[in-house]
Structure 1
Amino acid sequence: MENKFAGILSKHELKVTQARLLVLGIISKAKSAVSQPQIENHLNGKVDRVTLYRILSAFEQKGILHKVIDLNGTANYAMCSSKCTKHAHHDKHFHFNCTQCFKVYCMNDFSLPPVQLPAGFAAQDINLTITGVCKECNA
C-alpha cells in the first residue's frame, strides 16, 4: 500500500515523506471524509499539527484531496479522483452530510448535471451538499 501512496505523491510532484504516507493511509481507509482533528487523533502524535495543516493544504492544491465543509463548518477531506491535478479537480460529485452523526460522504456514483451559466460567467468549482440521515444512522 505504501508503494501506491508513494506513486501518488510522485505523480503530483511531492516528496515522499513518512508523514505524508501516514496521512494518505488514514484518508484512503476512511469510509467518509475526515476532518483534521480526526486525522490528528489517528496519528497519535506522530505528526505535529502545523505539519498536518501543511500536508493537507499541499494535497488539496496538488489535486490529491478535496475539501468538503460539514454542517458545523469544519473542513473534511476525501481522496480525489485519479484524474485530478493541481490545475483542475475533475471529481464533480454530490456530498451527503448526515444530520445525526455529522459524517460527510462522497456520492461518487452520482454525477452533477451540466450547468448552464449566463454569458460572461466561468465556473471554477461546484459544490452540492445533500443533508439528511445516512444509512448507518437510519438503520
Structure 2
Amino acid sequence: MTKDIEQRLKNKDINPTAMRLLVLDFLMQQNAAISLTDLEKGMGPSDRITLYRTLKTFEEKGLVHHIDDGTGTTKYALCMEECDADHHHDLHVHFYCQQCKETFCLPNTQIPEITLPKKFRSEEMNLVIKGVCDQCNPD
C-alpha cells in the first residue's frame, strides 16, 4: 500500500516525504471532500502550516483540486489521474448535502459547456448543487 501511495506521488513529481505519504493516504480514505480543519483533526497532532503547504503542493501538481461549495471553507478532493501541474481536467459537478454538510465530487456528472461573451476568458469553473445526498435521503 505504501509503495502505491509513494508511486502516485512520484508520478506527479512530488517528493514522497513522510507527511505527504500520510496526507495522501488519509485523502484516499475519504468519501467526501475535506477542509484543512478536517484534515488537521484526522491527522492527529500535526502542524497546520505543513498540512496547508502539502495540500497546496498537491494542488499545484494536479493531485488534488479545491472546491468552493459556498460554505466559506475551501474543501479538497483527489483529482482524476489525467490532471497535471498545467491543467486540471476534472470539470465535474460538486454536490453539497445540506443535511450532513458533506461535499461530494460527482465525476460522472460533467459541467455543461458554457459559451461566454466575446472578450470574457474563463479561468476557473465550479458548479455546486445543493440538496440531500444519497446517504441522508430517506427515499
Which TM bucket (shorter chain)?
Answer: over 0.9
Give yes or no for contact 1:63–1:80 (8 Å, CA) kept in 2.
Answer: yes
> Aligned to 2:136, what secondary structure does the other structure show?
helix
Give yes or no for contact 2:68–2:126 (8 Å, CA) kept in 1.
Answer: no
The aligned counterpart of 2:116 is 117
Deviation at 1:12, TM superposition (A): 1.8
The aligned counterpart of 2:34 is 34
Bigger mean CA deviation after superposition, 50-59 or 116-125? 116-125
Deviation at 1:24, TM superposition (A): 0.6
* Counterpart check, 1:104 vs 2:92: no
Bigger mean CA deviation after superposition, 65-74 or 124-133? 65-74
> Aligned to 1:89, what secondary structure does the other structure show?
coil
Once superposed, what is the RMSD of the aligned Cα atoms? 1.2
Deviation at 1:126, TM superposition (A): 1.1
The aligned counterpart of 2:128 is 129
1:107, 1:72 → 2: CA distance?
18
Aligned amino acid, residue 87 of structure 2:
A
Could you say if the C-alpha distance between residues 71 and 117 of structure 1 is closer, same or farther in structure 2, counting changes exceeding 3 Å? closer
The aligned counterpart of 1:75 is 74
1:121, 1:70 → 2: CA distance?
23
1:113, 1:75 → 2: CA distance?
23
Overall identity of the aligned pairs, in %: 38
Deviation at 1:121, TM superposition (A): 2.5
Under a length normalisation based on structure 1, what TM-score does the superposition of the two structures give?
A: 0.93
Give yes or no for contact 1:28–1:79 (8 Å, CA) kept in 2.
Answer: yes
In the comparison of the two structures, how many residue pairs are matched? 138
The aligned counterpart of 2:5 is 5
Cα deviation 1:45-81 (Å, max 9, x = unaligned): 1x31110010011111111001112342111110001
Aligned amino acid, residue 14 of structure 1:
I
5+ long unaligned stretches in structure 1: none
Aligned amino acid, residue 103 of structure 2:
V
The aligned counterpart of 1:43 is 43
Structure that is richer in helix per residue: 1
> Aligned to 2:135, what secondary structure does the other structure show?
helix
Deviation at 1:31, TM superposition (A): 0.6
> Aligned to 1:130, what secondary structure does the other structure show?
strand
Aligned amino acid, residue 106 of structure 1:
C
4+ runs of 1 displaced by more than 4 Å? none
